Structure 1
Amino acid sequence: MRDFTVVPIKGHHVIKRGVSSHVIALVSQYLGLSRGALADLMGLDRGTATRLSSEGKNLPPHAADSLLRLLEIHDMAADVFDTPAGTATWLRTPHPLLENERPLDAAKTSYGAQAVKNVLMSAKYGGAV
């Protein structure tokens, strides 16, 4: 079992220090998303993400926050579902408890991410999903 209670505290410190734009390639691979799709989920257009990465600059705080939020959601889903394929499918499938929005899209905002976390916790502990 993973401990997600430390994510907000550690995430805050990581964002304050700065997150290199070079992680976009690594995280897109980890999440199984194209770089453009990841940039969109982070609130960046593809050109800006490419420019930041080629210049070796840090992500803007809002994009770094979104990136960490996506990683947290992904890892929570991986803790609930048995396989990487099951995790990926769940994250990319519209869900009725998220107003038929895909969990990845809902997680673009902090409120949407909280709704996704609530659904995942219900699924993990036997609630209605």
Structure 2
Amino acid sequence: MSTTTNPAAMSAAGVMAKAFEGVFVHAFSRGKDDFRGAGTRFFHVSEAAWGLNRGVAAHYASWSVPARCLDEWFEASRLPRKKDLLTALSVNASTLSRTRPETPLEPGVTERLFRQSDLLVRAAEVFGEQGPTWMTKPHPLLDGKTPIEFATNEYGGEKVRAILNAIEHGGVV
């Protein structure tokens, strides 16, 4: 995990990580006392950088989240447009509009929620409050796609992470 020296960026990343944490705890709560992960942290700080707890994400990635979770996630993400949510999660707008709030979504959506959350927190570490905006701007190293669009699968997510690391450290992608 890289270190960040920009306190404003760390603050933006920390706020975002905590917001996503709340979304995931709420999404996986089945009842007042039924959250099996009580005390579980979805995000952690290591070497002054926020990161997704990959072990916890691996455990929950095959679970379904209720559709209501998407509105909460969108608010936590600070993405500029609702369209960006649909792109990030590869969710069909017309299907979603017919879905009731408690309807479980396919587990693939959960996995994408974790990936995109991790990348948005990383972008906030690098760009501060502008991290979500950076994720929605076309990038030449991503075939002109936005980072959020390119990261809809594991391999695209790794490429976006490599670009963020190169930007932060002045390296080559």
TM-score w.r.t. length of structure 1: 0.81
* Aligned residue runs from structure 1 range 1-129, under 5 A: 1-4=48-51, 6=53, 8-31=54-77, 32-52=79-99, 54-82=100-128, 84=129, 86-128=130-172
Distance apart, 1:55 and its partner CA:
4.7
Distance 1:5 1:21, change over 3 A: closer
Residue aligned with 1:4, SS: strand
Structure 2: which amino acid aligns with 1:68? F
Flag the 1:23–1:5 CA change in 2: closer, same or farther, 3 A: closer
Higher helix share: 1
Matched residue type, 2:148: L
Does the 8 A contact of 2:62 with 2:108 survive in 1?
A: no
Q: CA deviation at 1:34?
A: 4.2
Q: Is the 8 A contact 1:42 1:66 kept in 2?
A: yes
Identity %: 23
Alpha-carbon RMSD = 2.1
Are the equivalent residues in 2 in contact too, given 1:40–1:46 (CA < 8 A)?
Answer: no
Pairwise CA distance, 1:36: 4.7
Structure 1 127/66 Cα, relative in aligned 2: closer, same or farther at 3 Å?
same
Instruction: Count the aligned residue pairs.
Output: 125
Highest CA radius of gyration, 1 or 2? 2
Q: Counterpart of 2:154 in structure 1: which amino acid?
A: S
Residue 104 of structure 1 aligns with an amino acid whose one-letter code is I
Gaps of 5+ in 2: 1-47
Q: CA deviation at 1:26?
A: 1.0
Instruction: Name the CA shift for 1:12/1:50 in 2 (closer, same or farther; >3 Å).
Output: farther
Paired residue secondary structure (1:16)? coil
| Unmatched tracts of structure 1, length 5 or more | none
Q: The residue matched to 1:92 in structure 2 has which SS?
A: coil
| TM-score, normalised by the number of residues in structure 2 | 0.63
Shifted more, 43-52 versus 92-101: the winner is: 43-52
